[in-house]
Structure 1
């Protein structure tokens, strides 16, 4: 009778032996296990032990022939420590480690000569920019945003990468300048270094990007920022006010003497201005205005009849103190709509405002009460009402002038060769900021029945920093019938705002001008809905967004938000506060979270996982 001896092994021992056997044939498995051992305190990668084949591990993609790791997607897994062990993956082409707690970058990037995509945003990575970036000749996307990097950005080396499309270093602590010498890049289409500590003049080749790409760097100047660089002096322009910071003088004049000369010159200038103003008032003070006042540009404020009422001014009103000064200023018509005409008005002192002439408004008492509420509204994404003047059946509303046009112009104008496309990150940011404005209006404590009434991409303006500002707030509530103030109708109109916002999102995503109310609009909305239902969402998107195919999940998610807003029945549409939450979730879950100047530390999103990211098709050829 033979005795059979059976060795008892624990499951963990068997797994270890199996993995050790595999590691002898492929060094990548050892590298991955070393990284897990050093960086996975939460054991988020425990599933790796379920298979001896590392190519089947969660977040890992291999070349089918060589079994070498080419793609690693480990987002939002609470990983810590250093990325250095992963530099032993020489065939890596795609690395996504965003939304973790990693603290140390690789010492040198040269170990990844085939790398095309590097996403390390929303971590805790400190230290200087890694060496060897110039060796990544195939690199397409580079995102180090929302970290703690310091030191200088190797701008010259980045310009030497022939295929580089995305550069995102926002929300770090980079210092130094953006000077690249004689080098520049024609390939980079998405660039953001906002919220750092950079200084100096923005190079000409970078001035094509929006101001939001550079916001939050106090010592940066030059286009597209409102801060002008002039020789060794840095001149900061704020509307009509200029503050000049003198540099060290070399002509022998002391700063005290220079300041004295400037003070005397300023006093003389002020005296001359006062004399000129007095003469101007004397000459024009008695001009008859019942037939209209002609501005310097040749425009005429026809039919404006003064009846003695005072203009009501709110916080931030400047450039005029009464309606006389406003009517004497140069006026240029910007457009004419269903509620009246809009003018750009340049005051004698250089201040520029927008004046809307509203005809057929409600009764004076109702208008006064409503506008005093609107005049107190202050939100960074709402165009502020600065003053109003009521004259018989005509109303003048004075707003801030925003020089960068509207979302409509950014999306639809100058289509064709030479156009600078509106990048995905900016589109998502503008959608979020518009939603913030609308959510603010709908939840206003003092005026709970507030609604917009006519939200379109044309009245979502862009301010000096490239942020969205919703204009014409409450304008349609000034019009008859008075029953529009009824609570039930106001809530219904808020749902109409949600519907209009859904149309705005569709324009952002499709790049198409939404048809006006009617059968054409219905067909447009049904087309978008049918594409989503048939899993053909990508066909809906603007061709300018094709370069951001790795962000398709975010775009499709935003498209679904639009369809929720466009529900046929008002009661089925979400509140604007909920719409804002959904859009912010999209921003947090993707690489575009935070947008130019929204640094909120390391906002780790719990709904990110490698499986979700891995499900996104790899549209980039290898």
Structure 2
């Protein structure tokens, strides 16, 4: 009996202790979630935001708030997702940094400024941070290098500066690092994370050699850093074009054993005399060769003009074409361009103008022009060339061309006949065994990509809705002209190939060049990453319908302000069309649009109409896409009201980020175009 009583007492005591422990844990959990709720309240109270972020503070936990997700027991905040909700200003300290169990922080596409608070180092469980397309500044956030569980970091499209820290190697789980379109400088550290599969540091101020561990990534991951070299870019200490091999006389005399012994042994007197005599003989031979060359040149009556070397990033086109780093006309490659020798005979030095050309210079004039790199793409490198008489053109040096001379000339003659206000005209071309050059008009306003995705810091010129519509319409007209009037597939549609005139009228360039390249070449495979239609991944052959798909992606880029190449959309790294579909499917259509458009009143209906057209164009099945003329008609027939313009025809705007962003957007089906514009 006593034994039973003791057993019961033990059970009761254990139950009491368990209950007390559970109560203490529950009290602690309630206390922690209450603290996290207060931290979030403090954040949203101090940071201006769009009106659709309405948090019900009467809820006992923040787990049901917009953009907030908790763990299954609702005791800790795990995810904060507030993209494109008009957040403005710096992140206050002692707010987000108090969410110690946070796994995902997604606040991209806002207008947040400054640097991260130091208390971000408390977020030790953080696995992914997405802060791209804001206005953050300062150096790479040091607190991030302490968060060893981080797998993805997106800092793209901000104003970060300074070096990329070597401490990034602390993040052994890192599989995605996006640093493009910032102002990072210095050398790229050797990042040794075995898990790193996505990396982009393009359009910064980085220099030096690309580390061996990062050379597996494509050229696009490093483009726009003019002082970077190695790996997928140009080899370090080499010129754009192959230079002649150095002569044996220029070689370095091998060190003798006495030299290698640490300098303790001195050369004998006889050795010194021998070296001196050999050097004198070598100098005399070199001098005789120079005199002989000058006499022979004078005797043949040859004349040449050698332009002065150009300092900085600008050089003579001849130096670029010849591979020299200084004066033009000194290398064998440049001599080949102008000598009139070789398989093509006298035609080798001929710059061929198409359809009249519109210019009066020749190849010699072009080679004497000063030039600077405009950009390096999958087709080749483009240079801005300023001729001596003041004419400015763009010279594009193609790479990996497989077309024969006849095929090349035939295709270029067809392209030269394309004349339309929304198409950049081809003026001339040059073909030789080693070099293929194209000459285009120079448009000083740059590309849509630079305007849309350039630095978003102070002084940035924003692209308003009217100009985005003008660019969409003009691009559609240019592509329709190529398809209908010339039976030409563009094959390389992307925002960097939409150039802008002074009035923001667009003109498409780099069209119709696909037949010059092998379908399996790197140029064709990487040409339109982010814009490429699904079927082209298999066939490697662009078509009229794949052009329509790329145009649809371009429309999504205009609407969202996101680059299809940034590969960091959402939290899964999906492409732009799928990201838009996923957001619309969740009935968060307003989240799709560029935050910079939210200042304009009464344009939501037009944005949704253009979004519907874009989603029709990016249908996965080619037959479900409209033709380019049908897509043009859809854009032209969009119902553009007058109520949202001032007397002078300019859109009204507001500096209040909450205006026009309340999320009350007309519903839409992403698979169906507007009934009034069905193709």
**Higher-Rg member (1/2):** 2
Structure ranking higher in strand proportion: 1
Normalising by structure 1, what TM-score? 0.48
